Amino acid sequence: MYAEQFQKSLKAVEEAREANIALEPKRMTAQQKEDLLAEFHPDYRKDEFTELKIGPNKGDKVPHELAETLQAHARISAEDVNLENPQYDVDVLIIGGGGAGASAAIEASDAGANVMIVTKLRIGDANTMMAEGGIQAADKPNDSPAIHFVDAFGGGHFAAKRELLRKLVCDAPEAIKWLNELGVEFDKDAEGNMITTHGGGTSRKRMHAAKDYSGAEIMRTLRDEVLNRQIPVVDFTAAVELILDENGKCAGAVLMNMETKELMVARAKTVIIATGGAGRMHYQGFPTSNHYGATADGLVLGYRVGAKLLYAETLQYHPTGAAFPEQIFGALVTEKVRSLGAKLVNANGEVFMHPLETRDVAAASIIRECNARSNGIETGSGLGVWLDTPMIEKIGGEGTIMKRIPAMWRMFDKYGIDIRKEPILVYPTLHYQNGGLDIKEDGETTNIENLFVAGEAVGGIHGRNRLMGNSLLDIIVFGRSAGKNAAQKAKNTQVGTMTLSHIAKFEQEIEDAGIVTDTVSPKLLPSYARK
Amino acid sequence: MENMVNVFLFGKKYQVPDNLTIMRAMEYAGYELVRGCGCRNGFCGACATIYRIAGDRELKACLACQTKVEDNMYVATLPFFPLVKQVYDIETVNTTEQVMMQLYPEIYACVGCNACTKACTQGLNVMQYIAYAQRGDFEACAEESFDCVMCGVCSSRCPAGISHPQVAMLARRINGKYLAPKCGHLEDRVQEIKDGTFTELIEALMQKPVEEMKELYNTREIEK
Ligand SMILES: Cc1cc2nc3c(=O)[nH]c(=O)nc-3n(C[C@H](O)[C@H](O)[C@H](O)COP(=O)(O)OP(=O)(O)OC[C@H]3O[C@@H](n4cnc5c(N)ncnc54)[C@H](O)[C@@H]3O)c2cc1C
Ligand code: SF4
Ligand code: SF4
Ligand code: FES
């Protein structure tokens, strides 16, 4: 139930519902989209970016908050640890226990490597667990990897590294098969055909799902498999610094127990960064849909030893974060709500855009509707527009919501809003890190040997924007391949003499560039305690 | 103005605004959380919590990130619960009801007290899904347990020492891999890709100038 202040607008939405369902809003032209993005998308707000003064991406612009953490002091100095006596000595060290890390671990162990996962919270406390909507793969007869390629390349503004995108789309069906054979329960019809839907920017219905717990279903299955294989998982332990050898190759990491702050050394022949995203950096003050540990640590770890970033300035603001009630402000309302037929409606009950434009366009369009056109609704925590969920039941039949998006229903029901009967209020939320560390097709960074990256910490697979469902896909495709390749590479690797000399070198660069800062990084966790 | 309520975190009293979740109330009180906080949005089960409203007989359980504070709420978080997770090989696992006898025989000691269902933070019918597991009806067990976030609260209340979420996990994997119908078009597509059916198409896209890619993208046909 909504309070009095919402009722007038709510009435307008209800009255227009039948007509709005029938309406097929026009898609924007390429030119209209460009103009909209340039004026309203947060990535284009010049005053929100800082030029990096040091490091491999010197001269590039990134969000203020990211610049601050990239150009910060290390948490440790070389004297704080004894590299002679590593507590852990493995072939493949995986940093991050999300979907990418778990996939890599399973494949590396399959390849016979001695592998270990370290993760900051528990395995599965990760963005992967939260993905609701689904995972793309071109496995239907009317679809093909080539069509998938065009959708993703265009959606990413023609900036993806094509060899990475080729791998993503061509390995996609095999990734789904692998997951299914591990026991992931995809939505299927009685004959076993995958039930698939559109996502923003797709030209074929290729979104596979496990209700709206797609990520959770994938993550818990991968976690169960990691545990079945008895792969060591060191939880509540963060990587705080990478270790190189005398030839500049990656050779391990310094770890920190999150509770006791004890430092430990892990020596490894190859290292995979699978630390995920950065929502908890709250770029431009946006709320976020991400898990508690999404603080861009992997980018910092890589950057300090000289690994290059690609498209670190591009973030994804998911168009539909919850704008009401306050308790779930910023939490994700899955795109599947729109895939199933709900449209975006302004305060006057008008549909103001096609519901399945790409995310960046949709987010910019909502920001324009609220801020430039004053057609938003004041929610108490800011502005928002309606997402007319009851349309879903009208279009798909009664019961569709409980069958296809039970998690969404539950999230709002807790606060007395029944999304089958009442629409919900939404506004963009910081959702995904499009950019990240620059890799080659095999997953190794372009300029630090034996350092691999997989998952949301990678940049370049999607270009400057990512389509829904392509991220769960990339963590599986590139997670698996990083695991295999890192295991293979480890076979022919002898770890040299470990050193942390890069820390002092980086300190010197900070000083030479005249940067004055108290910040230390990686951030590890946001600070939410009231001071 | 914010309305303040009294909450008792591990027995100690704090005043917090009444519109906060328990998790945010802890942060408001000054806690820097490390344990007991994962997704912050009801998916990971890290924030299992038990509470009692002063004067109530009933002890309740919830997810701290999903539950609003109430006046006179006594809160204890349960950031870890020692569940039993049996190790098995999914490739060779027995897919009949005997597997439960082998791995989780304690489910047959269920006394039907329903404490698990009453405690479930997701409102699931936990006792029922355990009953399905006992019978070897893994499809029903999978469906009934699907929304489980593996928080372990049910297990903390079970007199028979059952690790419900692990039992359900096993049932879901068996169902997903062996019992659900196989997907023909998926198998076909994987094979086609192996056979190189799309190689030429893709390689053509690898070479195309961006202007042509734009044209292709902007004029592509979109499935209704
Ligand atoms: C709410 C939500 C919904 C989404 N929905 C979809 C969807 O429908 N479809 C889709 O394709 N994608 C979706 N995404 C995106 C997708 O889920 C993520 O991009 C993807 O799962 C990231 O996987 P990952 O393994 O790279 O990172 P994560 O799953 O985030 O895992 C990273 C892990 O590394 C750990 N870590 C971080 N730093 C350190 C450190 N310094 N030391 C040790 N460990 C560390 C983290 O704690 C975490 O456990 C969604 C994301 C969110 C947040
Ligand atoms: S079944 Fe048990 S573990 Fe699963 S959500 Fe309910 S209480 Fe938590
Ligand atoms: S709490 Fe344990 S004994 Fe009681 S009904 Fe549930 S499973 Fe059975
Ligand atoms: S923090 Fe993940 S369920 Fe509460």
Whether residues A298 and A374 share a domain: the answer is no
- Cα A482 to Cα A480: distance, rounded to the nearest angstrom: 6
* Residue A237, token pair as written in the block: 């332990």
Q: How far apart are the first and last CA of chain A?
A: 34
CATH code at A351?
3.90.700.10
**DSSP for A313-361?**
T-EEEEEEEE-SSGGGTT-B--THHHHTT--EE-TTS-B-S-TTS-HHH
Relative to beta strand A377-378, strand A383-387 is antiparallel
Residue A512 half-sphere exposure toward CB, CA atoms < 13 A: 9
Q: Which atom of ligand 3 is nearest to the CA of B107?
A: 7
Using alpha carbons, select from B223, B219, B193 the residue that is nearest to residue A205: B223
**Amino acid sitting at position B62:** C
Model pLDDT, residue A282: 95
Position A22 in a domain: yes
Q: Whose CA is nearest to atom 17 of ligand 1?
A: A128
Neighbour count for residue A246 (Cβ, 10 Å): 11
User: What single-letter amino acid sits at A182?
Assistant: L
Indicate whether A420 pLDDT > 70: yes
The answer to whether residue A60 neighbours chain B at the CB level (below 8 Å) is no
What confidence tens digit (pLDDT) does each residue in A183-193 have? Answer: 999 999 999 99
Report if residue A126 sits inside a domain.
yes
CB A496 within 8 A of CB A249: yes
Q: Which of A173, A205, A215 sits opposite B190 (nearest CB)?
A: A173
Q: What is the C-alpha to C-alpha distance for residues B7 and B27, in angstroms, rounded to an integer?
A: 13
The region that residue B77 occupies, defined by phi over 0 for left and psi between -120 and 50 for alpha, beta otherwise, is beta
A341 and A445 co-located in one domain: no
To the query of whether residue A318 is one of the catalytic residues in this protein, the response is yes
Do A122 and B39 count as a contact with CB atoms less than 8 A apart? no
Q: Per DSSP, what are the bridge partners of residue A241? A: A254
A121 interface with B at CB cutoff 8 Å: yes
| Closest alpha carbon within chain B to A205 | B223
Mark which of A407, A430, A453 sits at the end of a domain.
Answer: A430
Tell me: the pLDDT tens digits for A430-448? 999 999 999 999 999 999 9
A30 to B32: CB separation less than 8 angstroms, yes or no: no
pLDDT of residue A270: 98
pLDDT over 70 percentage in chain A: 100
Distance (angstroms) between ligand 4 centre and the Cα of A452 equals: 30
Query: Where do we find the tokens 């946001």?
Result: A526
Q: Say yes or no: A418 and A494 in one domain.
A: no
Closest Cα in chain B, distance from residue A525 (Å): 8
Name the 3-class secondary structure at B125: coil
* In a shared domain, residues A142 and A237: yes
Cβ–Cβ under 8 Å, residues A343 and A320: no
What domain count does chain A have? 2
For residues A418 and A377, the answer to whether their CB atoms sit within 8 Å is no
Of A379, A403, A430, the residue that ends a domain is A430
Domain boundary among A378, A402, A430: A430
Tell me the pLDDT band of A315, cut-offs 50, 70 and 90. Answer: very high
- Domain assignment present for residue A252? The answer is yes
| Chain A hits for B33, Cβ within 8 Å | 292, 525, 528
Contact A456, A316 (CB under 8 A): no
What are the start-end ranges of the E strands in A22-149?
49-51, 61-63, 73-74, 88-95, 115-118, 135-136
pLDDT tops 90 at residue B224 = no
Which residues in B lie closer than 8 A to residue A292 (C-beta atoms)?
33, 37-40
pTM of the model: 0.96
Distance CA A37, CA A428 (A): 14
The mean predicted confidence, pLDDT, of chain A is 96
Q: Are residues A385 and A426 in the same domain?
A: yes
Please say whether the beta carbons of A91 and A232 come within 8 A: no
Which residue from B minimizes the CA distance to A322? Answer: B41
From CA A228, how far away is CA A521, in angstroms rounded? 34
Asked if residue A364 and residue A266 are part of one domain, the reply reads no
Residue A447 domain boundaries: 73-314+434-502
Q: Whose CA is nearest to atom 1 of ligand 4?
A: B40
Q: Smallest CA–CA separation between B202 and chain A, in Å?
A: 5
Q: What is the average per-residue pLDDT within A261-287?
A: 97
Question: Do the Cβ atoms of B223 and A205 come within 8 Å?
Answer: yes
pLDDT of residue A434: 96
Q: What gap in Å lies between CA B38 and CA A339, rounded to an integer?
A: 28
> Which residue do the tokens 């008792």 mark?
B8
Give the residue-averaged pLDDT of A451-471: 96
- The set of residues, in sequence order, having a beta carbon less than 8 Å from that of B148 and lying 6+ positions away, is B122, B124, B164, B165, B168
Residue A391's pLDDT is 97
Q: Say if residue A220 is in the same domain as residue A103.
A: yes
* Segments of A146-290 assigned E as strands: 196-197, 207-208, 233-234, 237-245, 250-257, 263-273
CB within 8 Å of chain A, chain B residues 57-96: 66-68, 85, 87-90
| C-alpha dihedral sign at A399, A404, A410, A416 | negative
Q: A325: cis peptide before it, omega within 30°?
A: yes
* Whether the Cβ atoms of residue A21 and residue A394 lie closer than 8 Å to each other: yes
What local confidence, expressed as pLDDT, does residue A212 receive? 87
Confidence of residue B157 (pLDDT cuts 50, 70, 90): very high
Q: Give a yes or no: residue A305 inside a domain.
A: yes
Residue identifier of the C-alpha nearest atom 3 of ligand 4: B42
Residues 89-108 of B with CB under 8 A from A: 89-90
Residue type, A310: L
- Do A25 and A135 have their domain in common? no
- Among B116, B125, B132, B134, the mutation site with the greatest number of ligand 3 atoms within 8 A of its Cβ is B116
Residue A522 in contact with ligand 1 by CB distance below 6 A: yes
Phi-psi region of A132 (alpha: psi -120 to 50; beta: other; left: phi over 0): alpha
| Contacts of A502 by beta carbon, 8 Å cutoff, 6+ apart | A244, A304, A305, A306
Residue A349 lies in a domain: yes
Task: State the pLDDT at residue A482.
Answer: 98
Question: Ligand 2: residues whose CB is within 6 Å?
Answer: B 119-122, 124, 126, 148-154, 164-165
pLDDT band at B199 (very low <50, low <70, confident <90, very high): very high
State the pLDDT at residue A406. 87
pLDDT, position A358: 85
Interface of B with A in 31-50 (CB under 8 A): 31-35, 37-44, 46
Instruction: Give the integer Cα–Cα distance in Å for B208 and B220.
Output: 16
Q: Per-residue pLDDT tens for A332-391?
A: 998 889 989 999 999 999 999 998 888 899 999 999 999 999 999 999 888 999 999 999
Angle at the Cα of B215 from the Cα atoms of B209 and B216, rounded to 5 degrees: 90
Whether residues A327 and A474 share a domain: the answer is: no
Residue type, A139: D
Q: What is the mean pLDDT of residues A183-207?
A: 95
pLDDT of amino acid A380: 85
What is the B144 CA–ligand 2 centroid distance (Å)? 11
In a domain, A423, yes or no: yes
Catalytic residue among A206, A318, A359, A502: A318
Interchain CB distance below 8 Å, B173 and A188: no
Residues of A in contact with B87 (CB under 8 A): 227-228, 230
Same domain flag for A262 and A386: no
DSSP H helices in chain B:
22-28, 98-103, 115-119, 126-135, 138-145, 153-156, 164-174, 184-194, 199-207, 210-218
Of A209, A139, A146, nearest to A174 (Cα)? A139
- Asked if A245 and A264 sit in the same domain, the reply is yes
Kindly identify the ligand whose nearest atom is closest to the C-alpha of B42: 4
CA distance A285 to B66: 23
**Average pLDDT over all residues of chain B:** 96
DSSP one-letter code for A263: E
Nearest-CA residue for ligand 3 atom 4 is B113
- Name the 3-class secondary structure at A196: strand
Q: Compute the count of residue pairs across chains A and B with CB atoms less than 8 Å apart.
A: 219
Domains present along chain B, CATH in parentheses: 4-77 (3.10.20.740), 81-208 (1.10.1060)
Tokens for B145, please give them: 């347990």
Confidence bin at A123 (pLDDT 50/70/90): very high
Q: Is residue A127 part of a domain?
A: yes
- pLDDT at residue A216, as a whole number: 97
Please determine, for residue A177, whether its predicted confidence score (pLDDT) is greater than 80. yes
Ligand 4 atom at minimum distance from B37 CA: 1
Residues 436-465 of chain A with CB under 8 A from chain B are none
**How would you class A229 by CB atoms within 10 Å of its CB: exposed for 0-12, middle for 13-18, buried for 19 or more?**
middle
Residue A270 lies in a domain: yes
- A481: domain CATH number is 3.50.50.60
Long-range contacts made by residues A193-196, C-beta under 8 angstroms, separation at least 24? A193/B183, A193/B184, A193/B185, A194/A139, A194/A140, A194/B183, A194/B185, A194/B186, A196/A140
A162 catalytically annotated: no
Predicted local distance difference test score (pLDDT) of residue A392: 97
Q: What confidence tens digit (pLDDT) does each residue in B4-13 have?
A: 999 999 999 9
Distance, in Å, from the CA atom of B42 to the CA atom of A517, rounded to the nearest integer, reads 36
Q: A182 in helix, strand or coil?
A: helix
Check pocket membership of A471 for ligand 1, CB cut-off 6 A.
yes
Which one is catalytic: A17, A148, A338, A464? A338
User: Which residue among B46, B182, B216 sits closest to A150, beta carbon to beta carbon?
Assistant: B216
Question: Looking at ligand 2, which atom is closest to the CA of residue B152?
Answer: 3
Q: Which residues contact B22 (CB under 8 A, 6 or more apart)?
A: B7, B47, B49, B51, B62, B64, B65, B67, B68, B69, B73, B75
Q: B35-79 pLDDT, tens per residue?
A: 999 999 999 999 999 999 999 999 999 999 999 999 999 999 999
Q: What is the per-residue pLDDT for A335? A: 87
Same structural domain, A362 and A461: no
Whether ligand 4 lies within 6 angstroms of the CB of B147 is answered as no
Q: Is B186 on the interface with A (CB under 8 A)?
A: yes
CA-to-CA dists, residue A507 to A60, A513, B22, B198, angstroms: 20, 10, 41, 50
Cα B33 to averaged position of ligand 4 atoms, centre (Å): 12
Question: Is the pLDDT score of B100 beyond 80?
Answer: yes
Neighbours of A11 (CB within 10 A): 11
Q: State yes or no: pLDDT of B1 exceeds 70.
A: no
Q: What is the pLDDT of residue A531?
A: 79
What is the DSSP track for B164-223? HHHHHHHHHHHIIIIISPP-HHHHHHHHHHHTTTTHHHHHHHHHS-HHHHHHHHHT----
Query: Would the CB of A478 count as within 6 Å of ligand 1?
Result: no
Q: Which ligand is nearest to the CA of A217?
A: 1
